[in-house]
Amino acid sequence: MSITVKYFASLREQMGTGEVRLDTSAATTVGEAWQQATDGADLPANLLMAVNMEYVDAHHKVQDGDEVAFFPPVTGG
């Protein structure tokens, strides 16, 4: 299955891209998607995660076609 992975703000700059497509096996969690996208890097403790624009935790299962986003703590307002 195929998912879209998005990065924002300082994480986007670190990754050098705002968006990648990831082909992955079924039954993947958000945490596993992070590791696949980053060649096995640990998930930073304060990273925020969303699937299809709703906050989730690292154990959330991703589905084919999902948009998975990773980003640092927010600083709006």
Partner 1 sequence: MHIEIRTGQFDPYVEVSRYQRTTLNLPGQYGATAVFVGSMRDFNAGDSVQAMHLEHYPGMTERYLEKISAQAASRWDILDSLIIHRVGELRPDDPIVLVAVWAAHREAAFDASRYLMEELKSRAPFWKKETLPDRSRWVTRADE
Q: What is the contact surface with partner 1 in residues (CB under 8 A)? A: 6, 8-10, 48, 50, 53-55, 69, 71-77
The span from the CA of 25 to the CA of 74, in Å, is 31
Q: Which one, 40 or 76, has the nearer CB to partner 1?
A: 76
> Given the complex with partner 1, which of 25 and 46 has the nearer CB atom?
46
Q: How far is the CB of 19 from partner 1 (least distance, A)?
A: 11
Name the strands in the sheet holding 54-56, side by side, starting at the edge strand that comes first in the sequence: 19-23, 2-7, 67-71, 48-51, 54-56
* DSSP for residue 14: H
CB of 13 to partner 1, least distance (A): 8
